Amino acid sequence: MSETSRHSRSTDNAPSLESAATDRAGHTTRPRPAEQHGSPAARHSRRDLLRVGAAGGAALAAAGILLPGTAHASARPTVLGTPPLPAPRSERAAGSALRPFGRHLAFGADPSQQVVVSWQVPGAVTAPFVRIGLQPGDFGSPVAAEVRTLVSKLSWQHPVEDQSLVKPTTVTQYYLHAQLDRLIPDTTYYYVVGHQGYDPAGQRAQPGDVASFRTAPAPGRGTGFTFTAFGDQGIGSNAAATGRLVAGLGPAFHLHMGDLSYANSGGSGQTGDTYDARLWDAFFVQNDPVAAHTPWMMAVGNHEMEPWYASDGYGGVRARFTMPDNAWGQSTGIYSWRYQNVGLISLDGNDICYNTPTNLNHTKGKQKTWLESRLAALRADRTIDFVVVYLHQCTYSTCHDNGAELGAQQDWAPLFDKYQVDLVLSGHNHIYERTDPIRAGKATRKVGSGGTVDPVKDGTTYVVAGGGGDALYTFPAADTYLGHETPNDSPVPMVISDPSGHDHTVKVTWSRVRYTGYCLVAVDAAPATPGKPARLTVRSLTENGTAVDLFTVQRS
């Protein structure tokens, strides 16, 4: 939905793409690697380290840096949208002129061994690849990348910039993805990306060509770690500032909770939305300095519903990102994974969103069934101390611009209660808000900044961190945050939409911390040590690193 105001939703309440519901019509609605695994040279022979394999003729194992076996990657091109006519060979730019940009990393379901390197090129290239190595200038054999070509007709779009004199009829974007597997846990890898005619490893690399990432320690072998999170970033000075803060904190990974680029500025998921596909290029360029080194794990927001590419609106997401997406075949933005002692679940909040109903119930109950099975499995795993759920839409929030989601309160919150989810992170409302611990829709006790929550006794804490960079929203009550507390005992109005798209206001008492400004969440996860239980320390930090909230999650 257009997120300048909740009450200017001219397109947010159009019927679902799958079926037009008549009742909604017209409504708005770390130990060192040697300590864990031994040195690679001692553990594997030179012959093993130089072994080259292939998967379907597409992937080559990187020399000297992968565990023996195959690096899995597919070089089969994928075309989404309407394919353009191929340019005459003489008109195609030389590979040396087409420089990669917009690198972004992601973990697989096992971040100790699986990393995806993704990037863009400005035109069609031959044989794109990534090379990785344990030293900045010592790279192995090329690992082939999959090409996902996304074609967007200009007739769909309202470009934010003028077209060139020779006007094209389409915008064609080339996304490359190399999926690396069987990496060594708790190890820093350096990498370069290239293609035929451009190979930074075989010619003089330019500043910035070499990037790096670090795999997670094997479960149970690492020490504490930090991750960051925000939603609703967009493009601009404030969006870049929050990105720089992520880089400065150096987290193990970053959660992006939807509404990434705002290329679809309408956000209703309908073909009438204002859209400019090229804004994605600017988004990836803006974030390359941090996303090329820190894996960004994304959830889909309503602005990621781009109906021109696929019936579910997620064809663009599938072209641009490679998340684990292990809920079922063809699930998008619905996946679970673990990092050390924390289990993480990404959900598609569009599935339960009454105020932007285009994809409402598009999984037909599969997501809810999968969610319960994953929560049960994570809670049964004694090596996992905490369960964190992240999504775009807010289960609980008192910001009226996008309100709170009744669908999430009805379908998912009971499961969060049942399996004692420790922390639920979301965006959607462009502010920061933290609840008191909630169970059965009600606060169990007041927990101000500096306090500690026991999810076993108290319930789940919900955090909205939608101040990633796009235009800010407001609260119906005064801000109250660390060092600037205001009287906060009176009920605060929460707005929700019902299934027909009508708004309702309910008074609530759980809104404990409210901050109107740009910020992110930083979570420090610590495993149990003798005499000290495992804990999550959750901080909310402004663009310049000032804390506006701090609390601890510690299970009894």
Q: What is the CATH number of the domain that holds 110?
A: 2.60.40.380
330: which residues sit within 8 A by CB, 6+ positions away?
none
The b/e string for 522-550 (b: 16+ C-beta within 10 A; e otherwise) is: bbebbbeeeeeebbbbbbbbbbeeeebbb
Do 458 and 341 share a domain, yes or no? yes
Among residues 163, 183, 214, the one where a domain terminates is 214
Residue 10 covered by a domain: no
Do 190 and 75 share a domain, yes or no? yes
User: For residues 348 and 167, what is the distance between their CA atoms, to the nearest angstrom?
Assistant: 37
Average pLDDT over all residues of the chain: 86
471: which residues sit within 8 A by CB, 6+ positions away?
3, 4, 430
β-pair type (386-390, 211-214)? unpaired
What average pLDDT score do residues 425-444 get? 98
**If we measure between CA atoms, which residue out of 141, 162, 176, 137 comes closest to residue 64?**
141
Judged by phi (left if over 0) then psi (alpha if -120 to 50, else beta), residue 398 lies in: alpha
Do 313 and 376 share a domain, yes or no? yes
In this predicted structure, what is the pLDDT of residue 81?
A: 59
Do 206 and 241 share a domain, yes or no? no
pLDDT tens per residue, range 348-383: 999 999 999 999 999 999 999 999 999 999 999 999
Do 185 and 311 share a domain, yes or no? no
β-pair type (253-256, 225-230)? parallel
Amino acid at 28: T
Cα dihedral sign, 358-364-367-371: positive
- Cross-sheet strand order for the sheet of 296-298: 296-298, 253-256, 225-230, 519-526, 535-542, 547-553, 452-453
Among residues 168, 193, 214, the one where a domain terminates is 214
Number of domains making up the chain? 2
Do 275 and 418 share a domain, yes or no? yes
Residue 415 covered by a domain: yes
**If we measure between CA atoms, which residue out of 513, 435, 517 comes closest to residue 480?**
513
CA distances from 428 to 171, 188, 200, 367, 510 (A): 28, 34, 40, 20, 19
CA angle 450, 456, 457 (to 5 degrees): 70
What CATH number corresponds to the domain at position 247? Answer: 3.60.21.10
Do 203 and 243 share a domain, yes or no? no
Residue-number span of the structural domain to which 61 is assigned = 33-214
Do 483 and 546 share a domain, yes or no? yes
pLDDT tens per residue, range 118-169: 999 999 999 999 999 999 889 999 999 999 999 999 999 998 888 777 878 8
Among residues 214, 244, 275, the one where a domain terminates is 214
Residue 254 has pLDDT above 80, yes or no: yes
Which of 8-12, 280-284, 337-341 is the least confident region? 8-12
Do 457 and 395 share a domain, yes or no? yes
Which of 23-37, 44-58, 207-221, 296-310 is the least confident region? 44-58
Residue 100 covered by a domain: yes
Would you tell me the crossing angle of helices 279-291 and 237-249 to the nearest 10 degrees? Answer: 20
Q: How confident is the model at residue 336 (pLDDT cuts 50, 70, 90)?
A: very high
Do 151 and 286 share a domain, yes or no? no
Residue 16 covered by a domain: no
Do 291 and 180 share a domain, yes or no? no
Q: How confident is the model at residue 515 (pLDDT cuts 50, 70, 90)?
A: very high
Do 249 and 171 share a domain, yes or no? no
pLDDT tens per residue, range 192-213: 999 999 999 976 677 789 999 9
